Amino acid sequence: MDFEKIYQSYWQKIYRLCMGYVNDHAVAQDLAQETFITIWQQLPKFRNESNIGTWIFRIASNNCLRQIKNEKRIINVELPLNLKAEEHESKEPQIKLLYKFISELPQTDRIIISLELEDIKQAEIASIVGLSESNVRVKVHRIKEKLMKKFKEHELR
């Protein structure tokens, strides 16, 4: 597999995944870059035993978890989004709020919902996080309920 194609296909997805973990633009970019450095270094060793996307998301998840463990805290700052203004101007406040709410979730929930938002199949998410597919399905449902509740509470303020 060509590294350049992998980079083009996965950069935005990995960046958004990292944003879901750390909720900090600069740190998320650093984590995404570290992920792609690891991918570049390890690509010759990739044995196609799993889907390349599963492998990439697992590397990114491990980098994010390591970052959180090293910091022992989660940084909560306003999200600068790399979205085209004309396409997302009306949705930007909700997207920022969504990232904020995701960053407040427990670690496993953060990765599960971040991967779900990237349209990763639940079987693949299960493989990445090391849970059963049925457990992931239940967790996705519960996480969505938590996020909807946070949105409703926010609207009442």
Is the CB of residue 127 less than 8 Å from the CB of residue 50? yes
Mean pLDDT of 22-43: 90
Q: Work out the percent of the chain whose per-residue pLDDT is above 90.
A: 27
Task: Report the alpha-carbon distance of residue 116 to residue 124 in Å, rounded.
Answer: 10
Mean pLDDT of 65-81: 52
Is the confidence at residue 82, as pLDDT, over 80? no
8-35 exposure pattern, b = at least 16 Cβ within 10 A, e = fewer: eebeebbbbbbbbbbbbbebbeebbebb
- Best CA proximity match to 14, nearest among 117, 92, 107, 85: 117
- Number of domains the chain is built from: 1
Task: Report the alpha-carbon distance of residue 91 to residue 99 in Å, rounded.
Answer: 12
User: pTM of the full predicted structure?
Assistant: 0.62
The mean pLDDT value of the chain amounts to: 81
33-49 tens-digit pLDDT:
999 999 999 998 888 87
Task: Report the alpha-carbon distance of residue 103 to residue 96 in Å, rounded.
Answer: 11
List the domain range (segments joined by +) for residue 75: 3-156
pLDDT, position 66? 80
Task: Report the alpha-carbon distance of residue 81 to residue 95 in Å, rounded.
Answer: 9
Of the CA atoms within 13 Å of residue 119, those in its CB half-sphere come to 2
Is the CB of residue 146 less than 8 Å from the CB of residue 113? no
